[in-house]
């Protein structure tokens, strides 16, 4: 009996066939993408657990008991985590996933499954710029104006957009600074922001090393 293809396998077949239709370069593109994709995913997971094993050696006294975990919730979180580590190309984000995993071991999933799931899904969706900005704001001793947040080689409005997404995730609180009408000043740069308690909790669980 032939094994039925999974949705992921069906999608990959469609993608590969579509790439091969592109004149001149399609075949090479498909070979480049699909030829190394599975190997890269395996290497990411392998490296993730090798590094994790070394880091956890120093955490023995702070680890919780696996028996304390809600088994259904823990299995769901682990399955989702594996999928995200496999496809995450940046080393920095994979380190954040390790932080998440280690804190999950230290603090068993009990009645807070929805929050843990939200943290994991949100971490996956966040850009590295968003992570860096959130960590930066958390380390400020007071509120900061958006226009005063800069990063070399990054457009100011990329930062404005990242801050907008962080606000929508519930990680930042904001108030309007000086407000102008028709004065030529951009009010989005005048906004005063600080990290919310929820954002601080996310940072501690996922971004802080």
Same domain, 107 and 133: no
Same domain, 55 and 89: yes
| pLDDT score at 16 | 73
Residue 43 lies in a domain: yes
CATH of residue 154's domain is: 1.10.10.10
pLDDT, block means (10 residues), the chain with 209 residues: 66 73 71 68 84 82 76 90 90 94 88 94 96 95 91 93 96 74 65 95 91
Same domain, 160 and 173: yes
- Choose among 155, 158, 127, 148: nearest CA to 192: 148
| pLDDT score at 177 | 57
What's the structural domain count of the chain? 2
- Choose among 111, 98, 97, 119: nearest CA to 68: 111
Domain end position, chosen among 125, 159, 187 = 125
3-class state of residue 153 by DSSP: coil
| pLDDT score at 49 | 86
Domain that holds residue 142: 128-207
| pLDDT score at 4 | 72
Residue 180 lies in a domain: yes
């Amino acid at each position: 009996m032939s094994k039925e293809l999974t949705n992921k396998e069906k999608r990959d077949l469609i993608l590969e066939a579509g790439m091969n239709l592109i004149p001149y370069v399609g075949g090479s593109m498909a070979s480049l993408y699909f030829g190394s994709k599975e190997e890269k995913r395996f290497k990411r997971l392998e490296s993730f657990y090798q590094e994790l094993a070394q880091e956890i050696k120093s955490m023995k006294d702070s680890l919780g008991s696996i028996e304390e975990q809600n088994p259904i919730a823990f299995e769901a979180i682990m399955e989702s985590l594996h999928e995200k580590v496999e496809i995450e190309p940046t080393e920095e984000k994979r380190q954040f996933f390790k932080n998440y995993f280690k804190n999950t071991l230290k603090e068993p999933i009990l009645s807070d499954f929805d929050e843990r799931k939200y943290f994991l899904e949100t971490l996956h969706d966040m850009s590295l710029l968003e992570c860096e900005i959130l960590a930066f704001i958390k380390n400020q001793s007071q509120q900061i104006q958006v226009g005063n947040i800069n990063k070399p080689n990054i457009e100011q409005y990329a930062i404005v957009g990242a801050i907008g997404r962080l606000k929508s995730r519930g990680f930042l609180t904001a108030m309007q600074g000086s407000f102008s009408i028709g004065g030529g000043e951009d009010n989005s740069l005048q906004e005063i922001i600080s990290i919310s308690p929820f954002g601080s909790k996310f940072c501690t669980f996922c971004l802080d090393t």
